[in-house]
Structures are given as C-alpha cells and as structure tokens.
Amino acid sequence: MRRPQGGEEGEAAASEYENPTRTSKLPSEKVVLLVLGSLLAAALIIIYRLSFDKIQTNQAVQTLKEEKEALRRNISDEMFLKCEAGWELHGGTCYNFSTTKSSWNESRDSCKDLGGDLVKIDSREEQMLLEIKLRGLMEEPEDRFWIGLTDSKEEGRWLWVDGSPLNESLKFWSNKEPDDWKGQNPAGEDCVRMGEKGGATDLKCWFDKSCNVPHKSICEKSAVSGQTSCVCV
C-alpha cells in the first residue's frame, strides 16, 4: 500500500532533524574563512610593519657608517692639509660658510674674491658633510645657503659653476623640487640653495630659488699642503 504523501514529508523532516550538520555546514565554513581572512590580513600588516622598521634601521645604520667614514677621512686629511683662517677643512677641500646674505651672483663674486667659488658638490659624502654642518648654522627654516648650481643659461639644464652638468646620480633635490616657481619672480627660480634645519631625509635638501633673493652661501677652494693656519671642525 502506498504511504500518504504527508508521511514522506515527515520522514524527510525527521531525517534533517536527525542530521543537523547538513544545514549548519555552510555557515561554519563561512566563519572559518572569515577567521582565516582576518588572520591573513593581520599577518600582512605585521610583515609590512617589520619590513618598514627594517628599512628605517638600515638607513640609520648606513648614515652612521657614512658619517664615521667621513670623519675618519677628515682626520686623515688634516694631518697633511691646511686651510687659511676663516676656512674649514673637509676631505682635502676648504669651505667658507658666509653669513652675509646676498644674491647668487654677488655671493659667487665674494667667493672669487677669496680665491674660491661657490661650492660644487661632487659626492654623497660631501653632501652629507655640508648638510650636517648647515643644521647648526641655520637660524630658521628659510635660512639656507647658496651653492654653485644654476640653470640660468637654459631652463632645466643644471650646470655647476665650473660648467660641468649635474650628475644624475648625485642629485639631492627636496620633495617636488625643482619647481621653477614664478609666484615671487616671473623669471622663475634658476639658482640653488641648500639646507634643512631639522635634518634632511636621505640628505635631500636642495631648493631652486630666484637668483636675486639674498641668502648666505658656501664657498670652496682646494686645501694647500703645509699652510700654518687652520680652522677645522
């Protein structure tokens, strides 16, 4: 005899009641996937943070190594080379940090009168030495120093005072520089000043500026062996 249809439905309901995992399996999988996803996201955040900290630490260690090497070379040079009064010896070069504010061209003329020229930065080591020195000389954030770099002859073609082009591997422009801003002078900004009072990230502290703005400056000339007077740091 055929069972009533209602009896079959009753058996199906009873079967599902006896085996609850059939209805609860899908939600359980979702919960597991959600937990795993959360753990993975947390792990990625931790890995990123550790990697960032490692990069920062490596940069700090590298800077300390460079400063130590620069100091070692400077001490070695001072044993044989000297600068005249008013100049400071670093790595075989004498530097004069002028506190007189004048235009870029006037600053260059003053350097020439002293037997030198506005500084040309030839290495990362030299940039580091100057960047550290200026931190102590700057009285305020805008109290920067002219260096011997300009694109006054041709916009965007940066040349040092000796006529040599800027080495693409030795550029220390600050963020978004050079920008040739014309807000202060329609002629734009064709000369370079440097310095960051609080210290520059990766030594990047070059800024283009209108050549007519008065600034302090850095002069340089070669040290001479056997000179008797020296002002060193």
pLDDT digits (tens, 9 = 90+) for 125-169: 999 999 999 999 999 999 999 999 999 999 999 999 999 999 999
Q: How far is the C-alpha of 223 from the C-alpha of 36, rounded, in Å? A: 66
Task: State percent of the chain over pLDDT 70.
Answer: 77
Q: Tell me the C-alpha distance between 98 and 130, whole Å.
A: 13
Residue pair 199/126 in contact by the 8 Å Cβ criterion: no
pLDDT mean over 73-79: 60
Q: What is the DSSP letter of 180?
A: -
Q: Is residue 178 reached through a cis peptide bond, with omega within 30 degrees of 0 on the bond before it? A: yes
Taking the CA atoms of residue 83, residue 84, residue 86 and residue 90 in that order, the dihedral angle to the nearest 10 degrees is 0
Tell me the mean pLDDT in the region 90-100: 94
Question: Parallel, antiparallel, or unpaired: how do β-strands 215-222 and 145-150 relate?
Answer: parallel
CA 102 vs CA 57, 70, 105, 108: distances in Å: 40, 30, 8, 9
Q: What is the mean pLDDT of residues 88-109?
A: 95
Per-residue pLDDT at 25: 53
pLDDT at residue 6 tops 70: no
As a whole number of angstroms, the distance between CA 162 and CA 175 comes to 26
Which tokens belong to 106? 């006037």
- Which whole number is the average pLDDT over 21-34? 67
| DSSP structure class, residue 4 | P
What are 41's two structure tokens? 């996201």
Question: Quick one: average pLDDT of 24-50?
Answer: 78
- Residue 65 has φ and ψ, to the nearest 5°, of -65, -40
Q: What is the mean pLDDT of residues 85-91?
A: 92
* Domains defined along the chain, listed by start: 80-225 (3.10.100.10)
Confidence of residue 123 (pLDDT cuts 50, 70, 90): very high
pTM for this one? 0.66
Q: Across residues 88-94, what is the average pLDDT?
A: 91
